[in-house]
Amino acid sequence: MNILLMLLPISLLLLGLAIAAFAWAVRKGQFDDLDTPALDILDDAPPRSSAPPTSTPREGDDGA
Amino acid sequence: MDAPVVSCHHCGEPVAGGHAATADGPAFCCEGCAAAAAWIEGADLGSYYRLRSANANRVQADRLDLASWDRTELLDEHSRAVDGGREIVLLTDGMRCAACAWLIDRALAREAGVLDTTANAVTGRIRIAWDPARTTLSALLHRLAMLGYRPYLATGDAREQARLSDRRRWLLRLGVAGLGSLQAMMLAEALYLDVNATMPVPTRDMFRWLTFLVSTPVVFYSGWPFLAGMARELRARYLGMDTLIAGSTLLAYFASLVETIRGGTHVWYDAAVMFVFLLLAARMLEQRARNVATAQVDALARAQPVFATREREDGTRESVPPSALRIGDTVCVAAGDGVPADGVLLDQDADFEEALLTGESRPVRRRAGETVYAGTTCRERPARLRATATGNATRLSQLAELVDRAQGHRPPLARVADRVGRRFVVSLLVLAVCVYVGWRIYQPERAFEVTLALLVISCPCALSLSVPAVLAAAHGALARCGVLATRPEALDTLARATDMVFDKTGTLSDGRPARVAVDVFNGLDADAAARIAAALEKDSGHPIAAAFADVDARATAQGVVAHPGSGVEGEVDGRRWHLGRADWAAGREDDGGLWLGDGTHGVARFILSERPRDDAAVALDALRTQGLQLHLASGDSEGAVQRLAHALGIAAPLARQSPEDKLARVRQLQQEGRIVAMVGDGLNDAPVLAGADVSIAMGEGAPLAQQAADLVATGPSLLRIADAVRVARLARKLVKQNLAWSAGYNLLAVPLAAAGLVTPWIAALGMAVSSLVVTVNALRLARDDRRLAA
């Protein structure tokens, strides 16, 4: 049963990681709009050509 | 009008004459739509037409004046600084499906100076981050307006941010509850499988302490809304649902902790965390379904005017944002504009439409010296007022706050569970004390174990889950069949409805009256008459306007005033015209035609005809089989109403009904003890919709009517109403079943537990099974709706 002593901390660690990843995704606004992004893959057109210059990094939604 | 109806390529409205004819290209109803479509094709965004699931808004060709959006005062209040620019959240009324949001995202991304955009079709909100040095906000908004999305101010940056972070906090709570209960269940499983207690005690205790560790954040972080609710209820000396939920969670949690410490036979951490997770999920689903319905309508209703006109000391005028108004300022309001602040009316009497505040759509006359409120609309003639309250102090803001609070309240159905729950908790606590004392005397060493088993097995989980689970499933089912409930009590009342009153215009008919014939008198030719009528109806939003949509009005009507039930009045090319029923417009006996005249003499008579909607007969039959009595009360003429009622088999239709008549009819039915559901879509219907027990607005109707309604049907199909009634009735039945089940379960289980016949192990199982039965029963609704008609 000694293997439990290793497996249990690992499972707790994974739990912590999962919660941290979820919290990150929520803060970044990944779940704010669940409808529109689904359409993007249906569009054959090339991605937006006039992307804003790289000097202005795209700001996430994390100012809440 | 037997010619095939050509629909506008952009907005789907019928096209006749005008801009229809390019050899084989798509047809457009107006220049606005044609320009929008040309831009969309030119920008290589044509996929929009393929992706969309609903038609676009008709584009107003008139260029809006959006310059006031660039004022620093407005930007200070409604936007905030971000890296490299500013960011604003605004509302729009034209986003009907996800493809609209997609189009807005792409269109704005092509504008120079735009850093980032997000459009959300569910909430009707657009977030734009832009660089003020490279572009102005109004330029971006012009692009939106050109595509048919008119911008409105949202509720202010602070509130928008609060709304967003509130939603995120709920999501996070749900996520923690989900992941945490998953782990707790896994660890609990190991303990459950150890049936013969062969596990070494240290291993068992380690498992228990680990379960304790993972369930603690679930109970206290995810379950915080329930704990806070309990604290609130206890402070108000009231035992409600939150007390029930938080109480049983804490009970299972602390009882397990006690058992862990003293090395007892069983722990129930898994029950506590599963309970929190299921309830959170049910609450979120229900809220989301309701948010879809309210987010847009509600926010638009609260949208403030972008600017206000302030009169300076010397009598000249300046336009300022409403937030810059101070108490004591003199404010000028043009006819048709919203009032920006509460104030005392100066000078002369004026009429105000106060539907937003009172639900009464008829304009109310206010005398000089009386108070008028922000959010009302000035009608017929301009007014001046002295501001007495601005910003958050206005009555409108206070009402909006009230609405927020009311939306957090639970529907009557949930209140039933609340009442039952309260008595249940009190009697259970008394019983537990009695049982403990009894066993203490009889067999002291079993007293704690038996009492614990009693409390666990009677855990009111099933009771408190029974209503939210059904509501969540029902709102989902309704949304899938195309009906959105905006008020929480709507479902319950709809299920009990006995009578359904239809307003004819646009509800049963296809809403597109067509001119069948024009008779002219006094030398005016038919085209000129149609042009005047078109000018008068242009911005009225009344369904009759559709009959003149194909006419190029050329002239614009000045000072247009709508008289509900009679017609419209206004000035075209310097002459005053009445358009409406004969006795009002032409001074002669009402003959069912639409007359154009000056109030005493008629110059033209239009015969309009409407056909019943394709699905009207089927839908009405479905409603009749559900046992509803159908009524028809229309503002239209006797002949037209009789024809339609005959075609659809409705007995005793009422014609020529003013809004007051319709309301009186509804009140009369209510006095006979009937529960009335009203289906309508016109401006005239707003008071009746508000007066009926439950009301349904058709999605294409006037915004005001939608706002007064309890349910909004998102599409034109009448079959949805029959579906909605079905879902509502099923939901009511399921709630009753669930309540009966949880009551029956407790009646059986509590005596057994009190008698000491139940071990804590069986108690935990019984608790889980009872909650599961209730949830599965509610999910029948979700499965059932697939069999409904589309």
> Which of B686, B714, B742 delimits the end of a domain?
B714
Cβ pair B117, B143 in contact under 8 A: no
Asked if A47 has any chain B CB less than 8 Å from its own CB, the reply is no
Give chain B's length: 790
Q: Please write the tens of the pLDDT for every residue from B467-525.
A: 777 877 787 777 667 677 777 677 888 888 888 888 766 667 765 666 767 777 776 77
For residue B293, the model assigns a pLDDT of 53
- Is pLDDT above 80 for B243? no
- Is pLDDT above 70 for B399? no
Which residues touch B20 (CB under 8 Å, ≥6 apart)?
B6, B27, B28
Look-up of token digits 């504009």: B337
Closest CB to B175: pick one of A26, A33, A58.
Answer: A26
- Is pLDDT above 80 for B696? yes
- Poorest-confidence range of B297-311, B526-540, B721-735? B297-311
For residue A62, the model assigns a pLDDT of 41
Summary mean pLDDT of chain B: 76
> Are residues B184 and B164 part of one domain?
yes
- Poorest-confidence range of B22-26, B169-173, B224-228? B22-26
| Residue B576 lies inside a defined structural domain of this protein | yes
DSSP string for residues in B97-113: SHHHHHHHHHHHHTSTT
Q: How many domains does chain B have?
A: 5
Closest to B56 measured CA to CA, from B33, B39, B83:
B33
- Poorest-confidence range of B121-135, B145-159, B738-752? B145-159
**Per-residue tokens: B786:** 């697939």
- Is pLDDT above 90 for B220? yes
| Residue B27 lies inside a defined structural domain of this protein | no
Closest CB to B168: pick one of A27, A42, A50.
Answer: A27
- Please give, rounded to a whole number of angstroms, the shortest distance from the CA of B490 to a CA of chain A: 26
B720 vs B441, which has greater pLDDT? B441
> Are residues B520 and B504 part of one domain?
no
Residues of A in contact with B131 (CB under 8 A): 56
- Is pLDDT above 70 for B150? yes
> Are residues B269 and B175 part of one domain?
yes
Contact A59 B109 (CB under 8 A): no
Closest CB to A64: pick one of B120, B129, B165.
Answer: B165
> Are residues B265 and B316 part of one domain?
no
- Is pLDDT above 50 for B1? no
For residue B784, the model assigns a pLDDT of 58
By the 10 Å C-beta count (0-12 exposed, 13-18 middle, 19+ buried), B236 is classed as exposed
Closest to B660 measured CA to CA, from B683, B634, B636, B687:
B687
Mean pLDDT to the nearest integer, B626-640:
80
Asked if A2 has any chain B CB less than 8 Å from its own CB, the reply is no
Closest CB to A23: pick one of B82, B120, B172.
Answer: B172
Strands B499-502, B364-366: pairing is unpaired
With 0.80 as the threshold, say if the pTM is over it: no
> Are residues B628 and B504 part of one domain?
yes
Contact B179 A15 (CB under 8 A): yes
| Residue B552 lies inside a defined structural domain of this protein | yes
Q: Please write the tens of the pLDDT for every residue from B556-609.
A: 777 777 776 677 888 887 788 888 877 777 777 776 677 888 777 788 888 776
| Residue B107 lies inside a defined structural domain of this protein | no
A54 vs B725, which has greater pLDDT? B725
> Which of B279, B303, B327 delimits the end of a domain?
B303
CA distance B403 to B409: 10
- Is pLDDT above 90 for B173? yes
> Are residues B658 and B620 part of one domain?
yes
Mean pLDDT to the nearest integer, B183-189:
87
Catalytic positions of B, written as ranges? 503
- Poorest-confidence range of B357-366, B717-726, B761-770? B357-366
- Is pLDDT above 70 for B218? yes
Asked if A53 has any chain B CB less than 8 Å from its own CB, the reply is no
> Are residues B701 and B567 part of one domain?
no
CA distance B339 to B482: 34
- Poorest-confidence range of A44-53, B200-209, B522-531? A44-53
Chains A, B: CB contacts under 8 A, how many?
107
Q: Please write the tens of the pLDDT for every residue from B329-369.
A: 888 887 667 788 888 888 777 877 765 554 444 567 777 88
Residues of B in contact with A39 (CB under 8 A): 51, 98-99, 102
Strand partners, B594: B606
Contact A45 B105 (CB under 8 A): no
Phi, psi of B459 (to 5 degrees): -45, 125
Angle formed at CA B30 by CA B27 and CA B32, multiple of 5 degrees: 115
- Please give, rounded to a whole number of angstroms, the shortest distance from the CA of B26 to a CA of chain A: 21
Mean pLDDT to the nearest integer, B743-756:
84
What CATH number should be reported for the domain holding residue B696?
A: 3.40.50.1000
Instruction: Using 70 as the pLDDT threshold, list the residues of chain A that sit under it.
Output: 1, 43-64
For residue B410, the model assigns a pLDDT of 44
Closest to B286 measured CA to CA, from B408, B432, B175, B397:
B408
Angle formed at CA B192 by CA B191 and CA B197, multiple of 5 degrees: 70
Of the pLDDT bands very low, low, confident and very high (cuts 50, 70, 90), residue B706 is: low
B394 vs B101, which has greater pLDDT? B101
Residues of A in contact with B165 (CB under 8 A): 64
Running DSSP on this structure, what letter comes out for residue B219? Answer: I
CA distance B188 to B728: 39
Which of B172, B174, B199, B212 would you mutate first to test chain A, the one with the most A CBs within 10 A?
B172
Where residue B517 falls (left for φ over 0; alpha for ψ -120 to 50; beta otherwise) is: beta
> Are residues B222 and B296 part of one domain?
yes
Longest dimension (CA), chain B: 107
Contact A26 B101 (CB under 8 A): no
> Are residues B317 and B212 part of one domain?
no
Running DSSP on this structure, what letter comes out for residue B220? Answer: I
- Please give, rounded to a whole number of angstroms, the shortest distance from the CA of B590 to a CA of chain A: 51
> Are residues B520 and B452 part of one domain?
no
Contact A29 B44 (CB under 8 A): no
Which of B130, B171, B182, B215 would you mutate first to test chain A, the one with the most A CBs within 10 A?
B171
What CATH number should be reported for the domain holding residue B377?
A: 2.70.150.10
Contact A45 B44 (CB under 8 A): yes
Of the pLDDT bands very low, low, confident and very high (cuts 50, 70, 90), residue B90 is: confident
> Are residues B496 and B621 part of one domain?
yes
Of the pLDDT bands very low, low, confident and very high (cuts 50, 70, 90), residue B406 is: very low
| Residue percentage of chain B with pLDDT more than 70 | 77
> Which of B249, B271, B303 delimits the end of a domain?
B303
Contact A43 B118 (CB under 8 A): no
| Residue B569 lies inside a defined structural domain of this protein | yes
- Poorest-confidence range of B578-587, B697-706, B729-738? B697-706
- Is pLDDT above 80 for B298? no
| Residue B587 lies inside a defined structural domain of this protein | yes
> Are residues B253 and B213 part of one domain?
yes
Q: Is B89 in a helix, a strand, or coil?
A: strand
| Residue B38 lies inside a defined structural domain of this protein | no
Domain range spanning residue B654? 485-509+613-714
B425 vs A24, which has greater pLDDT? A24
Closest to B204 measured CA to CA, from B214, B193, B215:
B193
Whether the complex's predicted ipTM surpasses the cut of 0.90: no
| Residue B42 lies inside a defined structural domain of this protein | no
What CATH number should be reported for the domain holding residue B577?
A: 3.40.1110.10
